Amino acid sequence: MNSIDRLIKIFSEFPGIGPKQARRFVYFLITRNDAYIEEFKNEITELKSDIESCVDCKRYFSQSIQKGKNIIGKKLCSICTDDSRDNTLLMIVSRDIDLDNIEKSHLFNGKYFVLGGLVPILDKEPEKRIRLKDMLSLVSRMLEKGLKEIILGLDANAEGEYTAEIVRNALSSLSEKYKIKISELGRGLSTGTELEYSDPETIKNALKNRG
Ligand SMILES: [Zn+2]
């Protein structure tokens, strides 16, 4: 395999990118000058050294932006350290990209937790697919801050519904004991809707009609 094919193989592994697009990326890079390639290399290296997973919500965030704000030894993102956010509301999403999209809409002022994926239907080991333990640990910590409602912000498709069922089961004893309401954004979304691609109007309606 030559260097062109090796790079095509790498780009083909990106979400949503097929071999044809991957090939176009590689030929695009070949035509750039050395300074461009150098910057591209540096940005990728920087990404790995700068990005941390937040201790509370598990989203990835840039440490350089959060510099000085973190409690020593505890790496928290800008949302988890923001005192103006509502601690009575917690939204559980599957991926960082869904969180980013909801944040962009400026319609939700609670806290988040990122599961790290969805559970495929009939999967027998959901705890290996999503961060159930970390989620329960955050919910327990948020109970002390007055948590009242957990919103399941998952895609309105089969995997999203199956994942919601697993998350509900995992939360059932805590939610019963502490009278925490569990609602679902999916109930305010039309079937097949993915949060990643939802516009602010859709998110607004989903939040309003959550049940
Ligand atoms: Zn966080």
Residue-wise pLDDT for 174-190, tens only, equals: 999 999 999 998 777 77
163: number of Cβ within 10 Å: 26
**What is the token pair recorded at 193?**
């809707």
Q: Sign of the C-alpha dihedral, residues 29, 32, 35, 39? A: negative
Q: How far apart are the first and last CA of the chain?
A: 53
**What is the token pair recorded at 182?**
């569990």
How far, in Å, is the centroid of ligand 1 from the Cα of 32? 37
- Residue range 183-198: average pLDDT? 83
Edge-to-edge strands, sheet with 181-184 = 110-114, 86-93, 149-153, 181-184
How far, in Å, is the centroid of ligand 1 from the Cα of 100? 12
Q: How confident is the model at residue 69 (pLDDT cuts 50, 70, 90)?
A: low
Tokens 């035509």 found at: 31
User: How confident is the prediction for the chain on average, in pLDDT?
Assistant: 91
How far, in Å, is the centroid of ligand 1 from the Cα of 191? 29
**What is the token pair recorded at 72?**
């020593």
Q: Is pLDDT of 205 > 60?
A: yes
For the stretch 168-171, contacts whose Cβ atoms lie closer than 8 Å and that sit 24 or more positions apart, written own/partner, are 170/132, 170/135, 170/136, 171/135, 171/136, 171/139
138 membership: H or E segment, kind and range: helix 132-143
- Residue range 148-166: average pLDDT? 94
What count of Cα atoms within 13 Å lies in the side-chain half-sphere of residue 160? 23
Give bridge partners of residue 182 from the DSSP assignment.
Answer: 150
How far, in Å, is the centroid of ligand 1 from the Cα of 54? 5
Q: Is pLDDT of 142 > 80?
A: yes
How far, in Å, is the centroid of ligand 1 from the Cα of 67? 14
**What is the token pair recorded at 192?**
């097949």
Tokens 């941390």 found at: 52
The percentage of residues in the chain with a pLDDT greater than 90, rounded to a whole number, is: 72
Q: Is pLDDT of 72 > 70?
A: no
C-alpha–C-alpha distance, residues 115 and 138, integer Å: 12
pLDDT on residue 192: 81
What count of Cα atoms within 13 Å lies in the side-chain half-sphere of residue 134? 18
How far, in Å, is the centroid of ligand 1 from the Cα of 144? 17
**Coil, helix or strand at residue 196:** helix
184: number of Cβ within 10 Å: 22
